[in-house]
Every structure is written in C-alpha cells, then in structure tokens.
C-alpha cells in the first residue's frame, strides 16, 4: 500500500503521472512530495510509486 | 507627489494593500483585487482532493504576485517543508512564514519563525515572516534575511484592530525593513491609523471575508490605506496637551 495524502491506497507500481491522471488532477497545478522529498515535475512520468511510500499531493487554496 | 514605491525583496509595488484570499468565494477574488488595488495576494497550500476541480489560480488576475503562506506549520521544519511545496507549485519565490503552536489564539512562534526564515532566505526565498511584535525577534528576523516583518495587530481573524499599537510603533521606528501589519485589522479606519504610524503596508483577509460586501470593503480598505499613507508622508499635525490654538487670525477684527 502507498500512503497518499494520509490515506492508504493500492497504488504501488503505477507512475506518479498515471496516478494524477487517474485522479483527474492537472499535474501543472499540484506539487508532489514523496517521503518528504519534493519530486520535480519532469520526473512524474518516470517515478513509480513503491510499497510503503508516503506521498503528499498539494495545491493552492484560499488563505491568509 | 513623488512616486511612492513599496519594495519587498526584488519586487516593487505601488499598492500597500496585501489581500488574503481565505474564507470567501474564489469568484470574488478578481473583484476584490480590482477594487482593492492589491498587487500581492496570499494563498495557502493544502492537500489536493478529487472533488474540487477548479484552481484558485484561475481566479487571480495576471500581474498579481502570489504570496503562499505556511499555515498549518507547527515548527520551523514544517514551515520549510510547506514553503518548498509552495515554491514547487511554480508561482515564484515569495513566502509568508506562519508558525503556530496554539490553536486557540493562533499566536505566532517567533523563535521557530526566526529559524525558518534563516533556512528559507538562504535558499533564495523572499521571506515575509508573520510575527508577534517584539523588537528582539524582529532584529533576529532581519539578521536571518527576512525581506519584510509582519507583526500582528491582534489575533488572526479577530477584527479587533491595533491591540499591539505601541509595539508596532517600536518596530516602525527601529527596523529597517518594510513593516506590514498582518492579522487583526478589522476596519479601514484601523488600517488608516496603522499607516499614519508609518507602517509600510496592511494585510487583511477576515475583515473583508466577514463583511457584507467583499469588493466594496476591499475598496474601502484601499482608501483607508492610501489616506493613512498620505497623512504619514505629510507628517501629522501636532497635538496640544492643554488648551486651544485658534485657526483664525486673532487680530484686525472689531477690536484694536
């Protein structure tokens, strides 16, 4: 299992780019961190999610 | 009047109103930016979820500089992590550091804020730290490489105004960086008063979000901030401790 935004998901084996696409997420509008390291956008396609990875996918929202 | 520029890091701004984008509809942001004349707008970084497809970035007019905050951070390490994620979102190097350990009063942790400022300034961020108005902490922020100092007027979201007025004045007098009053300003008159004191800019969010009309209140803030700025540049008239001082000539009328 891969922990994505705090939830366990069966996402091991797919690429970050594929995961975002499945999510319907515009890769240009998010930032991705894997195991507390930022993943540069150009590596989304080649980076395969592994068992026990901890992933954060964030975006901008309204705030002060 | 000479052109009045606010310089923060590498950027120059004509507006002295920094707009928050929280707690109101994204659809109102464009009108608030327009009517408030804001050139700098804060946003937060949060987990992406599948339900909301639209992005706040679609509602922010071109030419406006984005100021991502680190809200949610409880220490310097978390703030640095959020700041890096914010920069990765691809909207520049500005960051407003916000570190809070307590959720009741939402008061900033100055010590952790100084630590995060140092790390992020060294990484090339334009760091604008939100802080409790303390002269020693402000001097440490200057030493850590901050591009501005953002003291609170009263607790975040309280609309209570300039509770820390005298301490903000000390920062205005002693700190050689833009002083931006952030948090607690509830009315345009309070924004005006802070600007009269020599504060360089005002940040407001809840005052607009909880008002009856976000865009109209943005316009009122713009007017208040501009009035206060002009009064500061003009130099306020003196105050008499006792007695009066006629505005009219006292001679040459009816009596010799």
Note whether residue B81 is domain-resident.
yes
CB B172 within 8 A of CB B193: no
Mean pLDDT estimate for chain B: 95
Can you tell me the distance from the alpha carbon of B204 to that of B185, in angstroms, rounded to the nearest whole number? 6
Of B22, B49, B88, the CB nearest to A63: B22
Enumerate the domain spans of chain A.
Answer: 2-58
In a domain, B96, yes or no: yes
Residue B24 in any domain: the answer is: yes
Interface test with A, best of B32, B42, B48 (most A CBs within 10 A): B48
Q: Nearest C-alpha of chain B: how many angstroms from A5?
A: 6
pLDDT average, residue stretch A34-54: 96
Q: Does residue B245 lie within any of the structural domains?
A: no
Is the Cβ–Cβ distance between B96 and B69 less than 8 Å?
yes
CA distance A56 to chain B (A): 7
What residues contact residue A58 under an 8 Å CB cut-off, 6+ apart?
A30, A31, A33, B45, B46, B47, B48, B85, B89
Active-site residue, B51 included: no
Cβ contacts of A25 on chain B, cutoff 8 Å: 48, 50
In sequence order, the β-bridge partners of residue B126 are B94
- Rounded to 5°, the CA angle B105-B107-B111 comes to 150
Which residue in this structure is represented by tokens 């691809």? B90
Q: Pick the catalytic residue from B77, B96, B115, B230.
A: B96
- Band (B252; pLDDT cuts 50, 70, 90): confident
Q: What is the structure's pLDDT at B210?
A: 96
B11 within a domain of the structure (yes/no):
yes
A64–B47 C-beta distance less than 8 A = no
- Please say if the pLDDT value at position B10 is more than 80: yes
Q: Do B47 and A58 touch (CB under 8 A)?
A: yes
The whole-number pLDDT of residue B91 equals 86
CA of A32: which chain B residue's CA is closest? Answer: B85
CATH code of the domain occupying A2-58: 3.10.20.30
* Interatomic CA distance for residues B135 and B45, integer angstroms: 29
Confidence of residue A34 (pLDDT cuts 50, 70, 90): very high
| Nearest residue of A to residue B52, measured between CA atoms | A25
Task: Supply the CATH number for residue B20's domain.
Answer: 3.20.20.70
CA of B69, closest CA in chain A: separation in Å? 7
Q: List pLDDT tens digits, range B71-101.
A: 999 999 999 999 999 999 988 999 999 999 9
Q: State yes or no: pLDDT of B1 exceeds 80.
A: no
Q: Where are the beta strands (DSSP E) in chain A?
A: 2-4, 7-9, 31-34, 37-39, 54-62
Beta strands B40-47 and A54-62, pairing class: antiparallel
**Cβ separation A62–B29 shorter than 8 A:** yes
The answer to whether residue B250 is domain-embedded is: no
> How many domains does the structure of chain B reveal?
1
Q: Is the pLDDT of residue B255 over 80?
A: no
Expressed as residue numbers, the domain containing B20 is 6-234
Q: Do B26 and A62 touch (CB under 8 A)?
A: yes
């Amino acid at each position: 299992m891969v922990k994505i935004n705090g939830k366990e998901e069966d996402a091991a084996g797919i690429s970050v780019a594929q995961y975002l696409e499945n999510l319907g997420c515009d890769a240009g509008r998010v930032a991705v961190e894997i195991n507390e390291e930022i993943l540069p956008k150009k590596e989304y396609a080649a980076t395969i999610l592994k068992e026990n990875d901890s992933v954060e996918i964030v975006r901008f929202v309204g705030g002060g | 009047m000479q052109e009045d520029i606010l310089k923060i890091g590498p950027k120059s701004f004509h507006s002295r109103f920094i707009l928050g984008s929280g707690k109101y509809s994204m659809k109102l942001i464009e009108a608030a930016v327009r009517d408030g004349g804001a050139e700098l707008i804060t946003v937060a970084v949060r987990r992406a979820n599948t339900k909301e497809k639209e992005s706040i970035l679609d509602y922010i007019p071109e030419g406006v500089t984005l100021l991502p905050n680190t809200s949610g951070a409880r220490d310097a390490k978390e703030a640095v992590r959020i700041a890096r994620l914010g920069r990765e979102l691809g909207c520049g190097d500005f960051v407003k550091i916000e570190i809070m350990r307590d959720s009741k009063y939402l008061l900033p942790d100055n010590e952790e804020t100084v630590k995060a400022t140092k790390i992020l300034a060294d990484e090339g961020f334009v760091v604008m730290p939100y802080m409790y108005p303390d002269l020693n902490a402000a001097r440490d922020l200057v030493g850590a490489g901050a591009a501005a100092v953002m003291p609170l007027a009263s607790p975040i979201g309280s609309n209570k105004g300039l509770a820390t007025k005298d301490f903000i004045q000390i920062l205005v007098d002693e700190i050689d960086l833009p002083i931006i009053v952030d948090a607690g300003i509830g009315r345009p008159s309070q924004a005006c008063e802070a600007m009269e004191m020599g504060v360089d800019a005002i940040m407001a969010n809840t005052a607009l979000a909880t008002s009856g009309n976000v865009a109209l209140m943005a316009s009122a803030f713009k007017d208040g901030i501009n009035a206060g700025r002009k009064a500061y540049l003009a130099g306020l008239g003196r105050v008499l401790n006792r007695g009066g001082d006629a505005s009219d000539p006292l001679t040459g009328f009816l009596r010799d």
